[in-house]
Structure 1
Amino acid sequence: MTAPLTPPHQPHEPHDSSPENGPWQSPPAVPGPSSMYAHETAKDQAAAAAELRKDLRDSALVLVAVTLAGVALGLLWLWLAPRVPLISNREGVFLKDTEGEAAIGADGTFVLLAVGLGALSAVAVFLFRRRGGMALVLALAVGGLLASLLGWGIGVWFGPPRDVVAHAREVGEGVTFDAYLELGAKGALLAWSVAAMVVHLGLTALFGPRDPEPDWAVPPTQ
């Protein structure tokens, strides 16, 4: 009695994924980790670009607003700065009060006004955008310098004439008149910027938003 013959081994044919040839189909394509990482990176780059555009826009607005505030500095300086009285005779123009400190008072008035307006501008910028940023602080500092230059120019332009001899001839001999308004200490032009940055830094440190604390993983106890 002989054993039944075993049919020869048939090679496996690949399954066709089409529904016509069988029930087996290829699984749907699932995005791998690399594609998901690329998608997240693109989103982060788009968010960073939008944040940069917002920073630049806000910084430009701060720069223009702070610079225009220099008009107030110039008008206040022109109004509050002490005058230097002059008097003329046939020999020339002289100080009426040789021991007066009105010239130094003009510089001190400019510095005090610049410091006060710098502090106010820093508070306004902080309330405008509490998050701050390097571009915003730089715009505040540059705007303060430009505002000081503008205020200085307005005070000199609208103040007494700079031609002292012609002004003395106009008013006549023995008549007291005011000397032109001048800023002797040019370092006063930095008072606005310094005060603004110091106040803004203090406000940001005290009331600015805090970065979230990192979550430290606690190792399991054995």
Structure 2
Amino acid sequence: MPYPSAPDHSGPGPSAPDQSEPGPELRAELVQAALVAIGVAVSGVLLGLVWLWLAPRVPLVWIGDKIYPKDAEGEQAMGADAVFALWALAFGAVSAAVVFWFFRRGGIALVVGLAIGGVLASVIAWRLGVWLGPESSIEAHARAVGRGMSFDSPLKLGAKGALLAWSLAAMAVHLGLTALFGPRDEEPAELGPQGPLGPQGPK
């Protein structure tokens, strides 16, 4: 005698929440990271102006048919790289402190925003300094000033690794501030010998 089959419960149950979409907390972190990256990148304009103002110039002179450095033993070219790198480190540290003070917490999203913004700010500062600096065409500049007259060479960044100085300083300072002053996770309460309510149990 055949028995009636049990009801089939293998069908689709209630739909589970879609895990592919980020939650509101993650979306908020991504928005904050984007704002940080944009704000830091825009501040690269200030670094570019500081670099243009403080970077040492390399004087050149047109003699005969060639253009020579006026000071053969000068180290102005390396000085320009050093000025850019040092000020980028300073700007990176300050930007990290401002971001930590504003948000009062850490988080990988903020660190990524600082890193991306630091690279963009450094590139903006580099290109702005070159654009506002002396004439980029040495030959045209030499013809403009004439033979035997000294003129400044174009502002250049020889060590391209300096473009990472801002990001490295920002990440290091932000992580350090988070470790020192960031919010701490609450430690779970210690369990007694008979559980969390002690040996007497609930009253």
For Structure 1 versus Structure 2, the TM-score category normalised by the shorter chain is 0.7 to 0.9
> Are residue 103 (structure 1) and residue 85 (structure 2) matched?
no
Aligned to 1:50: 24
Give the Cα separation in 1 of the matches to 2:35 and 2:54. 29
User: Higher Cα Rg: structure 1 or 2?
Assistant: 1
Output aligned runs, 1:162-177, within 5 Å. Answer: 162-177=136-151
Structure with the bigger RCO (C-alpha within 8 Å, sep 6+) is: 2
SS at 2:68 equivalent: strand
SS at 1:216 equivalent: coil
Give the Cα separation in 1 of the matches to 2:27 and 2:191. 36
Give the Cα separation in 2 of the matches to 1:219 and 1:67. 56
AA aligned to 2:154 is: Y
Q: Which runs of 5+ in 2 are unaligned?
A: 1-13
**Given that residues 60 and 153 in structure 2 are in contact (C-alpha distance below 8 angstroms), is that contact kept between their aligned partners in structure 1?**
yes
CA RMSD of aligned residues (A): 1.9
- Scaled by the length of structure 1, what TM-score is found? 0.77
SS at 2:91 equivalent: helix
Give the Cα separation in 2 of the matches to 1:80 and 1:87. 22
SS at 1:82 equivalent: coil
**Given that residues 106 and 175 in structure 2 are in contact (C-alpha distance below 8 angstroms), is that contact kept between their aligned partners in structure 1?**
no
> Are residue 87 (structure 1) and residue 68 (structure 2) matched?
no
AA aligned to 2:167 is: S
Identity of aligned pairs, percent? Answer: 58
Q: How many residues align?
A: 179
1:142: Cα distance to partner? 0.7
Aligned to 1:178: 152
Give the Cα separation in 2 of the matches to 1:59 and 1:145. 14
Give the Cα separation in 1 of the matches to 2:67 and 2:136. 13
The ranges of structure 1 where at least 4 consecutive aligned residues each deviate by more than 4 angstroms after the TM superposition are none
> Are residue 142 (structure 1) and residue 116 (structure 2) matched?
yes
1:50: Cα distance to partner? 2.1
- Scaled by the length of structure 2, what TM-score is found? 0.84
